[in-house]
């Protein structure tokens, strides 16, 4: 398993458009990938390949998250998703 923490920097957080972009990127990888809200104690990690799961997590600007993956391409998957989040989704 490989995991990394990052912070959501785009103005609107993971609303529909950036969440869709996040899911599409996650789906390129074979690994099982999760996202966990580190701001909410006891928050359950959600499937990074599920748009509904990401939207339900309510991830907004400034929130710290952990992206974790397990599988053959886990490092590439996490690094790509962290880079996407830190880029602000082009917003």
pLDDT digits (tens, 9 = 90+) for 55-85: 999 999 999 999 999 999 999 999 999 999 9
- Contact 68/20 with Cβ under 8 angstroms? no
Asked if residue 41 has pLDDT above 80, the reply is yes
Q: Which helix (DSSP H) or strand (DSSP E) does residue 75 occupy?
A: helix 74-86
**What confidence tier does 89 reach under pLDDT thresholds 50, 70, 90?**
confident
Q: What is the largest CA-CA distance in the chain?
A: 33
- Contact 73/84 with Cβ under 8 angstroms? no
Q: Spell out the domains of the chain, with CATH numbers in brackets.
A: 2-90 (3.30.1340.10)
Of 23, 21, 29, which is closest to residue 77 (Cα–Cα)?
Answer: 29
| Catalytic residue list contains 15 | yes
Q: Looking at residues 44-64, what average pLDDT do you find?
A: 95
Catalytic residue among 3, 9, 15, 21: 15
Could you tell me which residues are beta bridge partners of residue 75? none
CA angle, residues 56, 60, 62, in degrees to nearest 5:
145
Q: What percent of the chain stands above pLDDT 90?
A: 91
């Amino acid at each position: 398993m490989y995991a990394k923490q990052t912070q959501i920097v785009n103005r609107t957080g993971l609303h529909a458009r950036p969440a869709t972009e996040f899911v599409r990127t996650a789906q390129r990888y074979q690994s099982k990938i999760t996202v966990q809200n580190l701001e909410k104690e006891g928050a359950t990690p959600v499937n990074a390949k599920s748009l509904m799961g990401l939207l339900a997590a309510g991830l907004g600007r400034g929130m710290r998250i952990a992206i974790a993956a397990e599988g053959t391409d886990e490092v590439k998957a996490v690094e790509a998703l962290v880079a996407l989040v830190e880029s602000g989704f082009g917003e």
